[in-house]
Structures are given as structure tokens and as C-alpha cells.
Amino acid sequence: MERKEVAFRIYRYNPQVDRQPFYDNFKIAVERGITILRALNYIKEHLEPRLTFRAFCQAGICGSCAVRINGVSKLACTTQVWDELTGSGDDPILVEPLNNLPVIRDLVVDIDPVMEKLKQNYSWVRPAIAEGEMGQKEHCVSDGEFEAINAATDCILCGSCYSECSMTEVNPRYISPPVLLKAFRMNNDTRDTLGCERLGQVSGDNGLWDCAHCYKCAEHCVKHIPIVDGIHRLREEMFERHMTRSEGARHAQAFFDDIRSTGRLREATLPLRTLGVVKTLRMVPLAAKMGMKGRTPPFVVKPVPGIDRVRGIYRRLEANRAAKQGGE
């Protein structure tokens, strides 16, 4: 069995005694096939008993061992040490707590912010049965119905996507990817009756429409769930349910209309169509400054060459949607 001395650089912080975080270095002999979690266990058992981290199932199921390894959020129990060796294999493997969550100690973060957001956003199914009938009656979901939410039910709430989300990083109040994924999963559960209420909640301030489409959540999901597809589906559902009064929905509608009519954005009127009169008036000083720098967007936008082909795409999408709705 291939064996090698591997260096680890591990984030340490005990808020009760440390003024600030620091990094500890360890070097241990590791065999090929060993996971980061087993290496952490070895360090804790043999070198530093105070090293603190979470783990339970050791099989990629409970989600408790998520940490950042070489800067990327992953499960320690399913990540091979060998896969994390960089350079000539002598560079230390960096192990840090998840981003965007408060550190309790060393590699352990407080996941209460995620749990609070799940609670606030109806992350459960409310079936259409009377209180007294709960548990008395079966609610069958067909294979086809389950297929629509199958991938989303794989979420183990490990927090990796939360840690990688660029919007959560700049705005801790942002609803966050795992909560949006749960909203998608619940809204597409055929037993559920909370669809509109949940959509209204998730699309409020710091919600659904603030997603920046960076795709980092989906790229780093430890279960490879297409989270952003779920986010897009929630947005589509808002239009299908005619919930189009929020700024986010109006912004999306304005983009949709502009591209269909000219192939370009009509930026000069975008704030008015998205934010309404009062908020747009507040932007007048900014518009004046932009005007002085010669950066005012044009009021008249000519269609791009080949606009008919763009409109053809819209016609085809609309025909597909009509056919799909007819077949349902």
C-alpha cells in the first residue's frame, strides 16, 4: 500500500481563550485510500486531543463533517487525502471551517442561521388533510411525481453550498441556496398545500430574486444537486401563479420584454419599470452624475441585426410551453 508523509495546516480557534484564529501544522504518515476525516481523527487521537470537528456517519449521509479543504467546501468523510495533494505532494492540505457561518470552535460552525431560515420559509410539507386525520391516512406519491423532486430530496443539509454562496457572503440575510432548494422541493411535492404562501415568503427581501446566478452552490453541492435549476423553477412558478408584483419579478419581466422586442436591454427605463416612480426618483442624483460622465444609456434602442431569429426563439419557447400545458 502506497504510504506518504502528509502535512496538514488546520484552522484553530477557541473563542473562549484565543484572541484570534491561528493555524496549526501537523505531519502524519498516511496510506493511499485514507479520507480527510480519518486523518483528522488520527491527529486528534495521537497529536492534539483539543482539535475539534464534527462527524457522525462517516459515509456521506449525515452532512455533519463539512469543512473547507484547500479552500473548497466538502465532506471530510468522502474526500480522499490523495486527491487533495498539490504541488509535488509536499504542500500542506489546508483544512478550515465552512464560510459564512460563525465558528464555535476550530472546524465546528454554528448552523443555527441555516435552521432559522429553514423555519422562516415553510421548509416542510403541509398536506391537505384535517388535523385529526394526520397519521391516519396514506398519501401516495407516484414514481413520476417523485421523479420531479428526487434529486432535491438528496440534500443532507451539510451547509457546503451555504459556505460557497457568493450572495450569502455579501449579505448574511440572503435566504441561501439550501433554503431555496427546500422551497423548490416542497412546492413540487404533490401532497403540499403551501405553494403560494411559501413563494410569497421566499421571494421577499433578501430572497429568491437576489440570487446572483454564480452557480457556485450547484458546482460545490456534495450531492451534485442542480440547485440553480430549482431556483429558476421557483421563479417560473411565480409567473405561472401570477405573483409578479415584486421588484425581482418586474425586473425579470422587463429583461424578457426588452430582449424580445429589440435583443438589447433598454437600461434607461429599466429602473422605472422595476422599482416604480418613487424609488426611481431617488436615483436621479446618480443618473445626473452618470450623465456628467457621459455614461447615460440611450432612451431609444434599435433592434439588433437578426432580431427575427431572437423572436423566433421566443415563439418556439411559447409553443413548447403551450404544448406542455396542453399535455398535462
Residue closer to ligand SF4 by CB (options 48, 210) is 210
- 170 lines the binding site for ligand FES (CB under 6 A): no
Residue closer to ligand SF4 by CB (options 97, 177) is 177
Of 30, 43, 77, 202, the residue at the interface with ligand FES (CB under 6 A) is 77
From residue 253, how far is each of 15, 48, 235, 309 by CA, in Å?
Answer: 47, 57, 11, 20
Q: Give the three-class secondary structure for 39.
A: helix
Q: Give the three-class secondary structure for 15.
A: coil
CB contact at 8 A, 101 and 110: yes
Residue closer to ligand FES by CB (options 223, 264) is 223
Supply the minimum distance, in Å, between the C-beta of residue 140 and ligand FES.
31
- Amino acid at site 296: T
Residue carrying C-alpha cell 473562549: 16
- Which of ligand FES, ligand SF4, none lies near 55, with the C-beta cut-off 5 to 8 A by kind? ligand FES
- Amino acid at site 189: D
Of 30, 75, 149, 254, the residue at the interface with ligand FES (CB under 6 A) is 75
Supply the minimum distance, in Å, between the C-beta of residue 144 and ligand SF4.
23
Residue closer to ligand SF4 by CB (options 51, 221) is 221
Residue closer to ligand SF4 by CB (options 70, 168) is 168
In the beta sheet, which residues pair with residue 31?
Answer: 3
CB contact at 8 A, 61 and 29: no
Beta-strand pair 93-96/3-12 = parallel
Question: Residues 6 or more apart from 229 whose CB is under 8 A from it?
Answer: 218
CB contact at 8 A, 63 and 36: no
DSSP 176: -
Stretch that binds ligand SF4, among 41-49, 156-164, 195-203, 281-289 (CB under 6 A): 156-164
- Which of ligand SF4, ligand FES, none lies near 95, with the C-beta cut-off 5 to 8 A by kind? none
- 159 lines the binding site for ligand SF4 (CB under 6 A): yes
Supply the minimum distance, in Å, between the C-beta of residue 75 and ligand FES.
5
CB contact at 8 A, 43 and 8: yes
- 65 lines the binding site for ligand SF4 (CB under 6 A): no
Of 45, 47, 56, 302, the residue at the interface with ligand FES (CB under 6 A) is 56
Of 276, 234, 233, 226, nearest to 254 by C-alpha is 276
Supply the minimum distance, in Å, between the C-beta of residue 78 and ligand FES.
7
Of 282, 278, 230, 273, nearest to 252 by C-alpha is 273
Q: How far apart are CA 260 and CA 314, in angstroms?
A: 7
221-260 positions binding ligand SF4, by CB under 6 A? 221-223, 225, 227-228
- Which positions lie near ligand FES, rule CB under 6 A? 55-58, 60-65, 75, 77
- Which positions lie near ligand SF4, rule CB under 6 A? 155-161, 165-167, 177-178, 181, 211-217, 221-223, 225, 227-228
